[in-house]
Every structure is written in C-alpha cells, then in structure tokens.
C-alpha cells in the first residue's frame, strides 16, 4: 500500500507534511465520496501516491482528528513490541503501522533501521544537549550483547528468519526443520539449547519443540524411499505412457500385472519421487452455423454409455493449430467402451472429412440397424449427404440441443484427453502437420489398444469390446 515516504516529491511539489487539515479532508472526500482513484488524486496534486494512500486509510480508520493530537512520544517498550511484530509477524509494515495508528508508514521503518544499527537494541534519545562526559562512542554490537532483552529479541527474529528459509509456508515446519534451525542459532549466538528453548517459549506464536524431541529429530536418519522395486516399476509405467497416467491408472496397471498395492500407497510414492499425471486444458472448435438443414431430436439425453458395442456412436470435429496452420480430426467413438471406431484427418473441416470417416466405419461394421449416431448441430451433420449415408445403413440420427455442448460430453472428453496427453504444451515436438497427423494416428492406436481406463476396471477399450461381445 505504501512505501517509505519521501521528504520531497520528484515534481518538487508539497510533501504530505505540508498539507493542512482542510486539504487532507478534501483529499479524503475525493476518495471516499467521489470515488476518485488514489493514483489520480496523487497525480492531480503532485503527491507521492504511496504516502497519500496511507494517509487516506489512516483517516478512514481513525478519523481526521488523529492529526489534531499532539506529537506522541513513544516508550521504549512500545517500540520494542512494534519492531518485533514487524520482523517476526506475518503482517506488512504498512498494515502494522495502520494498526498502531502511526501517522506515517516511514516511522516504523526508521525504528527498524535504528534498531539494527544499535545492535538490535532500542535506544531512546534524550532531549537537549548531551553532556560531554556522555559523548563517548560506544560499540552498538557490544551494547546489544550486554542487553539480555535485546539478545533475546535478536535470537527470536533470527529463529523466524531461519525457519522461513527452510520451509515453504510458516506453520508447516517439521520437527527436523525446527531442530536444524535451533542448531544454527546455537552456533551463531554461542548459546546453550536451554537458553534457546527458554527464549522461544516466551512467544507462543513461534514453533515450539521439546528438548527430547530436538535430540530425537537430529539423531533420526533421513528416510530413503521404501520398496525400490515398486518405485522402479512405477517410473517405468509412467515413462512408457509419457506421463499420461496418474496414480489411479498406475494402480490399475500394477494390479493387472500382479502387484498388491493401494491407491494411497502409489499416490504417496509418486508424490515423493515427483511424478504427476498431465492435467487437462480445454479448447474447442465449433462447426455450428445455425440451422441450415434438417435437425434431429436428442435421443441420448446424456445417457452416454451402452451395454453392447455399436449401439451408440458419437462424433465431432476437433481443430489443431500448429505453426500458423490447422489440422482437423473427425473420429467416431463407441459408447460401449470408448473405442475409436474410425477416424479421418484433413486440412479442411468439410464433408469429405466426415464422409471419409463414415466409409471407414461402415467397411468394418456391417450390422448397424440398432445404432444411434449422436452429434452436435454442426453444419456437416445437418447436410443431406451425411443424413442419407446414415439412412442407407439403418442408423438413427441424434443431435445435441443448441448451446448444450455437454450433450455430446463423451466426445468432448475424448478430445480433451487426446490434446492434453499428446498436444498441449508439446507443440514444439511437431515440425509440420504431417508429423502431427502421424502422432495423432499413433495416439489413437495407443488409446484403443494400450491405455487402460478406470471406468472399465483396468481394461483397454478393445479389451472391453471383446469382453462385451463374448458375454
């Protein structure tokens, strides 16, 4: 909110201290009643924006009357407490200054600077001229060492700073980290363990540790990773699938290969060795151009899954951007096990792309009289050529409702999966569209034949299809 206030503005204008009460009140009303931004007011009046912001919030909190009070003389105890809060607490110096009601956020900064210069000791200057016999220079570091309270404060501050270096977030320190921090303090300050424990015990907001726990934490050996064979196998599965497997699929793969493991065990193990599955990032190509042909009713109603193959099919077109060029994929997905029945890849999202995909599917699958084919309301699926092809094979057409992309959620899920696992953040792997098309073909083969699914209880789409046909 506020940096240390400057004595003179860079424009040579009035400083905050030169503003009278009426001017301060006008500025506050401009901010509070008129809603003018602080930066605008500062620019208009040629004032430091940070100092102005602090003044406004001070008036907002305590009222304009805070500037009517006489200059306050702060006690040594008050300064010590404020400095320690600033150095060891979680609040910023600006927020703490506001809480303490200081008229400038630079006051506390000055206290801290003087505190460090005097060997972590608060020195209250006496008014008037200093007698000659008291003007002898004194080493501030030596003065700090002779003051037990200053030494204790310095140790507590160093303790907090040491912990901050060892942990990502204060409050999450382990016994090992606390013990290491205390050991460093003992070496730096040349004090005993009992002294350190006594000093930090007086501040309940500081992490505490018992004497016995301290020695136990230092004596405890660093734990290595258990089950090296299992760890090696997890890495092998993760690398083979190019990071596409999270802990759930790795567990299913391990169970399939005869390992006795649990999800909790593998999740913890992957966390320890730093393995994390790819996360999905959605982008969508839309072929919707309004009603330009005959629309079909929604026969799926988001009941996507089928108990037998070739009962429910889904399709859509997805767009890939690479080096300023575009590539389009049009697959057919079976609702039984999620198998990709057929697909076509092209530079253009036209009817040739869709009809090529259909012809490949019809060549492999003959009996489709009971099949429902679901799509969105894309222009290709409203065309007479597409609808005629479905009619010739006895397929019933179904369409999502307008503006309801989740009506075709199973297809959308596949596209998100494919792009996350082989395209997003990996574009630099492909130098041209030919390489990308080949990678898509390889992924679809991998997806059908090797990639297991939790929903299919650890089976691949092809394995699930074959099992469904036998049962």
Classify burial at 462, counting beta carbons within 10 Å of its beta carbon; exposed 0-12, middle 13-18, buried 19 or more. middle
- Which pLDDT score, from 0 to 100, does residue 143 have? 47
Name the more confident of 17 and 381.
381
CA distance 103 to 81: 18
Tens digits of residue pLDDT in 139-192:
444 544 557 777 887 888 888 777 777 665 556 678 888 888 888 888 888 888
- Which pLDDT score, from 0 to 100, does residue 15 have? 59
pTM exceeding the 0.85 threshold for the entire prediction: no
Which SS3 state, helix, strand or coil, does residue 206 take?
coil
Model confidence at 85: pLDDT above 90: no
- Which pLDDT score, from 0 to 100, does residue 450 have? 92
- Which pLDDT score, from 0 to 100, does residue 290 have? 56
C-beta of residue 47 within 8 angstroms of C-beta of residue 13: yes
Q: Kindly report the average pLDDT of the chain as a whole number.
A: 81
Model confidence at 383: pLDDT above 80: yes
Tens digits of residue pLDDT in 299-350:
888 888 888 999 999 999 999 998 889 999 999 999 998 999 999 999 998 8
Which SS3 state, helix, strand or coil, does residue 359 take?
helix
- Identify the DSSP state of 314: E
Which SS3 state, helix, strand or coil, does residue 453 take?
strand
The mean-pLDDT minimum among 57-71, 226-240, 241-255, 263-277 falls in 57-71
CA distance 426 to 292: 37
Position 221 confidence tier, pLDDT thresholds 50, 70, 90: low
C-beta of residue 447 within 8 angstroms of C-beta of residue 461: yes
What are the strands, taking DSSP E only, across 216-339?
312-315, 318-322, 325-334
- Which pLDDT score, from 0 to 100, does residue 462 have? 93
Phi and psi dihedrals of 462, rounded to 5?
-65, -45
Tens digits of residue pLDDT in 89-146:
667 888 888 888 887 778 888 877 777 666 566 666 655 555 555 544 444 445 445 5
Count of alpha carbons within 13 Å of 407, Cβ hemisphere only? 18
Phi and psi dihedrals of 377, rounded to 5?
-95, 35
Name the more confident of 234 and 409.
234
Tens digits of residue pLDDT in 427-462:
888 999 999 999 999 999 999 999 998 888 889 999
| Selection from 141, 155, 146 nearest residue 195 by Cα | 155
Residue with tokens 């009222």: 63
- Which pLDDT score, from 0 to 100, does residue 62 have? 82
Name the more confident of 226 and 266.
266
Model confidence at 351: pLDDT above 50: yes
C-beta of residue 287 within 8 angstroms of C-beta of residue 261: no
Name the more confident of 221 and 143.
221
Which SS3 state, helix, strand or coil, does residue 10 take?
coil
Tens digits of residue pLDDT in 233-254:
999 999 898 888 888 889 999 9
Question: Nearest 5°: CA angle at 313, between 310 and 318?
Answer: 145
Give me the mean pLDDT over the 52-64 stretch.
84
- Those residues whose C-beta lies under 8 Å from the C-beta of residue 85, and which sit 6 or more positions away, are 91, 96
DSSP 382-449: HSHHHHHHHHHTTPEEEEPPTT-GGGGHHHHHHHHHHHHHHTTT-GGG-SSHHHHHHHHHHHHHHHHH
CA distance 248 to 225: 20
Count of alpha carbons within 13 Å of 327, Cβ hemisphere only? 21
Name the more confident of 203 and 420.
420
Tokens representing residue 205 in the block: 């907001």
- Which pLDDT score, from 0 to 100, does residue 339 have? 93
CA distance 417 to 278: 9
Position 8 confidence tier, pLDDT thresholds 50, 70, 90: very low
Tens digits of residue pLDDT in 21-57:
788 888 888 888 878 888 888 888 888 888 888 888 8
- Which pLDDT score, from 0 to 100, does residue 438 have? 95
CA distance 193 to 211: 8
Tokens representing residue 465 in the block: 């299809």
Neighbours of 93 (CB within 10 A): 23
- Which pLDDT score, from 0 to 100, does residue 89 have? 66
Position 464 confidence tier, pLDDT thresholds 50, 70, 90: very high
Name the more confident of 465 and 123.
465
Give me the mean pLDDT over the 353-363 stretch.
92
C-beta of residue 440 within 8 angstroms of C-beta of residue 422: yes
CA distance 31 to 38: 7
Classify burial at 64, counting beta carbons within 10 Å of its beta carbon; exposed 0-12, middle 13-18, buried 19 or more. middle
């Amino acid at each position: 909110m506020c940096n240390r206030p400057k004595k003179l503005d860079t424009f040579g204008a009035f400083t905050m201290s030169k503003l009278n009460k009426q001017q301060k009140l006008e500025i506050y009303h401009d901010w509070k009643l008129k809603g003018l931004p602080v930066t605008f007011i500062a620019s208009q009046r040629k004032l430091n924006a940070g100092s102005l912001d602090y003044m406004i919030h001070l008036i907002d909190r305590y009222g304009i009357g805070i500037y009517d009070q006489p200059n306050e003389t702060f006690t040594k105890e008050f300064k010590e407490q404020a400095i320690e809060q600033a150095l060891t607490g979680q609040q910023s110096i600006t927020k703490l200054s506001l809480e303490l009601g200081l008229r400038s956020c630079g006051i506390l900064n000055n206290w801290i600077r003087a505190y460090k210069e005097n060997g972590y000791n608060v020195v209250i200057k006496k008014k008037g001229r200093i007698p000659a016999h008291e003007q002898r220079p004194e080493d501030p570091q030596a003065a700090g060492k002779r003051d037990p309270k200053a030494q204790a404060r310095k140790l507590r501050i160093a303790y907090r700073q040491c912990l901050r270096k060892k942990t990502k977030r204060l409050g999450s320190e382990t016994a090992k980290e606390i013990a290491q921090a205390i050991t460093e303090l003992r070496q730096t300050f040349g004090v005993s363990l009992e002294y350190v424990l006594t000093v930090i015990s007086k501040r309940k907001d500081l992490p505490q540790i018992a004497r016995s726990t301290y020695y136990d934490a230092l004596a405890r050996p660093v734990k290595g990773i258990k089950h090296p064979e299992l760890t090696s196998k997890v890495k092998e599965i993760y690398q083979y699938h190019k990071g596409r497997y999270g802990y759930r699929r790795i567990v299913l793969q391990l169970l399939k290969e005869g390992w006795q493991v649990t999800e909790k065990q593998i999740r913890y193990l992957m966390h320890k060795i730093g393995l994390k599955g790819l996360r999905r990032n959605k982008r969508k190509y839309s072929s919707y151009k309004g009603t330009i042909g005959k629309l079909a009713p929604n026969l799926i109603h988001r009941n996507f899954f089928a108990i037998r193959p070739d009962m429910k099919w889904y399709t859509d077109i997805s767009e890939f951007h690479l080096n300023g060029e575009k590539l389009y994929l049009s697959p057919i997905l079976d609702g039984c096990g999620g198998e990709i029945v057929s697909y076509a890849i092209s530079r253009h999202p036209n009817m040739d792309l869709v009809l090529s995909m259909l012809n490949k599917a019809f060549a492999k699958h003959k009996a489709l009289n009971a099949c429902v084919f679901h799509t969105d309301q894309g222009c290709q699926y409203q065309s007479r050529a597409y609808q005629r092809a479905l009619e010739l094979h006895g397929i019933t057409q179904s369409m999502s409702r307008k503006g309801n992309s989740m009506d075709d959620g199973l297809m959308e899920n596949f596209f998100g999966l494919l792009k996350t696992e082989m395209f997003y953040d990996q574009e630099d792997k492909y130098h041209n569209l030919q390489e990308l098309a080949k990678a898509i073909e390889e992924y679809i083969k991998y997806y059908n034949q090797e990639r297991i699914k939790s929903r299919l209880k650890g089976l691949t789409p092809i394995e699930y299809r074959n099992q469904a046909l036998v049962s």
